[in-house]
Structure 1
Amino acid sequence: MFYIGGMEKPTAAPSSEFEDFEAAHNRQALDPSVLPARAQKGRGAISNNNGRYEKLSHQAYDDGWLMENIDRGTGVESDDDFPPARVKTTLGVDGARSVITRNQSPDVPFDRSINPYRGCEHGCVYCFARPTHAYLGLSPGLDFETKLFWKPEAPALLRKQLAAKSYMPAPIVIGTSTDPYQPVEREKQLTRNIIQVLADCRHPFSIITKSALVCRDIDLIAPMAKQNRASVAVSVTSLDNRLSNLLEPRAGAPHRRLDAIAKLSDAGIPVTVLCAPIIPGLNDNEIENLVAACHKAGAQSVSHIVLRLPLEIADLFDEWLQNHYPDRRDKVISLIKQMRDGKLYDANFGSRMRGSGPIADLIAQRFNLARRKHNMAGRSLNLDCSGFVRPGANGQLSLF
């Protein structure tokens, strides 16, 4: 077990558009002893390059043993005979001093959130939270999905923050950066304990997840939903099992997510679907079928976000394309740039989630038409905050 405390966020963040990826390939071309990163089954990222704030970098290097054995005819034909070592998942403790994170983004319909875990074993290669692992001195690549941290004090910290006299209730969204129902939640039940605190206080909340494990907590979510104090957003990226498995290797399969939507809806819980990210040239052909399938499962609303490639994600995603869809790589990158005014990423509010230009406009129009066809709304967080009960408000401690 290892431990991390609060770390001051660095002030500078250099940008990248495949410089590291191309530099690595150039080094390999000049020196064949530099070994390329190789995909691992069950992992999204292929490489584990150092974070952008690290002074040193590392790379795999063949010391000559492999080629010597090939030359001697020992039966070793290529490095494929030596699959990459499986990286195990580890769990450390995040010594956070608060649990509610505030934001002022005009792109999202909430101003506060809770992320029970840092890092995410689902391994979504496109995850916009990957670059945050660099703040810990870790790689946004494989480290992000294998070196996880949990916040065991989160329920107590949440209760303390809600008890503050200055606190004013507003919907809290659980799982905005990393999935609150990733595999480790089965054992730790941290998300469930957080929901229990919110339910005890009648505090409105919404959950974002890719996991059917959310159905485990229907007993807590449904009573709150009946009072218009809870909702769930299920992220569905593709109905194609192969594509989903490569993009999100340890997240729920598409049919499992649709089944979760049905169970939540049957329990009276409002369900919205986040079709995110939409990647032109990969899953944009599924838009109409995605909306239809989610509506059939019981979802009431649907929204979309186009692919975002900030910081290290650009290199990781390009590397992923080169390994899994090399024939589509140039087309996909070209379409992404057409949505970003010729760049790979646009960080401006208003356009970073939707993109701009004809390609982005067409995607938005198709979603609007599909929504109207199935009488579905856009995402909303219109939850009731009027019944909030401050922790300790009915006890003796409230007198002091």
Structure 2
Amino acid sequence: MARPARATRGPSTWFLFRSRRADRLASVTTFTQQIRGRGARSNRSGRYEAEAREAFDDGWTLDDEVVDTIRTTVSPEKAKVIITRNDSPDVGFNRSINPYRGCEHGCIYCYARPAHAYMGLSPGLDFESKLFFKPEAGRLLENELRNPRYTPEFIHIGGNTDPYQPQERALRVTRQVLEVLERFNHPFSIITKSALILRDLDVLASSAEKNQVRVAISITTLDRTLARSMEPRAATPERRLEAVKRLSEAGVPVVVMFAPCIPGLNDHEMEAVLERSAEAGAVGAGYVALRLPLEIKDLFQEWLASDHPDRAARVMSLVRQIRGGKDYDSQWGKRMKGEGPIAALMSRRFATARKRYGLDRPLAPLDLTQFRPPPKAGDQLALFG
């Protein structure tokens, strides 16, 4: 038997709490206006929660205090290992490091949002404001790399959430990881949409000299207004292009990711983004079609209705056309690019633009042969070199 509903007062509305029914009621805490600097328009309960919240108008909304900001909290996470392994055929790496959980950039389309449900938190506003970091990342990584059974494969940094989100300025967790990898001569790649990566240009340039690093910069639009709406706390498009330029000038190979490509919203900018990226010095490019797994499909549609009501229906129609009539298809081989005529056109356009701007040249594999654990303090030196 379901527990009786109970009401409680919250800022700017009333919320009704009730247990989830068998039909997995899609409940939501809805705010009547955009929360300043945030991407999600609600804080939907995670899929593992026993209770859900629904907003309803009690007739007093205009007299309530308006919520226009949400404070970010950052909590330490105790991790036992730092290298994550996967066997996905759809990604180009099998080892990754994620210094953070959650991401303050607040990109509404972020495929990492559903992972916050495992923490008992919402993939909506909680994902952007209740963050976790791994303070022992550097030490854990060094311990794993010193294991006599460790065999090097290149490690991707930031495969889940951005390793250069705002709190990295003070916490420097990503910096710790890069320093360890550089000392061990361990190859790695890193993806970000933050210009903060330039802070670590010294480490990246040193690794680039040994052919042990590749950087991917995500640029989804050149339109500052769209970027501010879609990726509210990420670097502006121009700052990302500047990061491409400065990294390239320092000898660091940069690949630009046009990801996600959203039909009817930013797909028309594909060629322009690749052209500007090539001019800035990028050596390669990739793209991923918009993915809407689990809670993201509702969060994304809320955002469309709020920020782009004039095109919301068309965007979702096109998204479903590349997903076999559904909001999302998670099948291997289809989830990254989609299928059908619209997806095929997207792929042809990308391949043509990539070739036109010289971004289709094969990149040399990162060098694994130089990996060596450096001697620890107190280690006995070898008698013979």
**TM > 0.5:** yes
Give the counterpart of 1:254 among 237, 254, 269: 237
Query: 3-state DSSP class of the match of 1:327?
Result: coil
Structure 2 vs 1, CA of residues 146 and 15 (structure 1 numbering), >3 Å: closer, same or farther?
farther
Match of 2:137 among 139, 150, 154: 154
Q: Is 2:379 aligned against 1:384?
A: no
Residue of structure 2 aligned with 1:50, choices 45, 50, 55: 45
**Does the CA contact (< 8 Å) of 1:174 and 1:205 recur in 2?**
yes
Structure 2 partner of 1:288: 271
| Contact kept? 1:163, 1:392, Cα under 8 Å | no
Q: After superposition, where does 1:9-48 map in structure 2 within 5 Å?
A: 20=26, 37-48=32-43
Structure 1 residues 35 and 102: CA distance shift in structure 2, 3 A: closer
The equivalent residue for 2:344 is 361
Q: Identify the residue that residue 297 of structure 2 maps to in structure 1.
A: 314
Q: CA deviation at 1:381?
A: 7.5
Q: Tell me the equivalent position of 2:75.
A: 92
1:59 Cα deviation from its structure 2 partner: 3.5
Task: Give yes or no for the alignment of 1:111 onto 2:94.
Answer: yes
Q: Among 331, 345, 355, which residue is 1:372 paired with?
A: 355
Q: Is the Cα–Cα contact under 8 Å of residues 207 and 231 in structure 1 kept in the other structure?
A: yes
What is the CA-CA distance between 1:244 and the residue it aligns to? Answer: 0.7
Q: What secondary structure does 1:276 align onto? A: strand
Instruction: Give 1 or 2: higher strand fraction.
Output: 2
C-alpha spacing 1:43/1:379, structure 2 compared with 1 (3 Å): farther
The answer to whether the 8 Å contact 1:109/1:380 transfers is no
Matched, 1:238 2:233: no
Matched with 2:321 is 338
Q: Deviations over 1:228-265 (max 9, x none)?
A: 00111000000011111111000000000000000000
2:124 matched to which residue of 1?
141
Contact 2:255–2:282 at 8 Å: present in 1 too? yes
Shift of 1:392: 4.2
The one-letter code of the counterpart of 1:55 is A
* Distance of 1:15 and 1:379 partners within structure 2: 49
Distance in structure 1 (CA, Å) of the matches to 2:122 and 2:231: 18
Q: Do structure 1's residue 304 and structure 2's residue 284 form an aligned pair?
A: no
Query: In 2, distance between residues paired with 1:375 and 1:316?
Result: 37
- Residues 346-357 of structure 1: pairs in structure 2 closer than 5 A: 346-357=329-340
What number of residue pairs does the alignment pair up? 361
The one of the two structures with greater contact order (alpha-carbon pairs below 8 A, sep at least 6) is 1
Deviations 1:83-137 (A, max 9, x none): 3241100000111111001011111111100000000000001100000000000
Question: What is the distance in 1 between the residues matched to 2:380 and 2:288?
Answer: 46
Q: Are 2:193 and 1:210 equivalent residues in the alignment?
A: yes
- Counterpart of 2:212? 229
Q: How many angstroms does 1:49 deviate by?
A: 1.3
Distance 1:249 1:381 in 2: 35
Partners of 2:30 and 2:41 within 8 A in 1: no
How far off is 1:63 after superposition?
A: 4.5
| Aligned with 1:276 (options 240, 249, 259) | 259
Residue identity opposite 2:51 in structure 1: L
Alpha-carbon distance between aligned partners in 2 of 1:359 and 1:353, rounded to the nearest angstrom: 14
Counterparts of 2:363 and 2:218, CA distance in 1: 15
- The 2-side partners of 1:163 and 1:397 are apart by 16
Structure 1 residue aligned with 2:11: none
Report the alpha carbon displacement of residue 58 of structure 1 after superposing the two structures with TM.
2.1
Percent identity, aligned pairs only, is 50
1:178 alignment partner, one of 161, 167, 171: 161
CA distance in 1, matches of 2:65, 2:202: 48
For structure 1, the 5+ residue unaligned runs are: 1-13, 25-33, 67-77
TM-score w.r.t. the length of structure 1 is 0.86
Instruction: Work out whether residues 35 and 62 of structure 1, in 8 Å CA contact, stay in contact via their aligned partners in 2.
Output: no
Which secondary structure does the structure 2 equivalent of 1:252 belong to?
coil
Cα distance between partner residues in 1 of 2:68 and 2:160: 28
Structure 2 length as normaliser, TM-score? 0.89
Q: Is the 8 A contact 1:302 1:378 kept in 2?
A: no
How much has 1:65 moved relative to structure 2? 3.6
Name the aligned partner's letter for residue 44 of structure 1. G
Residues 174 and 207 in structure 1, CA contact (< 8 A), matched pair in contact too: yes
The superposition leaves residues 362-394 of structure 1 with CA deviations (integer Å, 9 ceiling, x where unpaired) of 111011101111111278572000000125489
**Structure 2: stretches of 5+ with no match in the other structure:** 1-21
Alpha-carbon RMSD across the aligned residues, in angstroms, is 2.2
Q: What SS class does the counterpart of residue 57 from structure 1 fall into?
A: strand
Q: Secondary structure at the match of 1:260?
A: helix
Partner Cα separation in structure 1 for residue 191 and residue 169 of structure 2: 17
Change (3 A) 1:268 1:344: same
* In structure 2, distance between residues paired with 1:121 and 1:167: 33
* Cα distance change of structure 1 residues 398 and 365 upon mapping to structure 2, 3 Å threshold: farther
CA contact (8 A) 2:31 2:41 kept: no
Q: Take 2:346 and 2:47, find their aligned partners in 1: how far apart are those partners?
A: 33
Q: 1:235 to 1:35 in 2, by over 3 A?
A: closer
Structure in which a larger fraction of residues adopt helix: 1
Asked whether the 8 Å contact 1:115–1:178 carries over to 2, the reply is yes
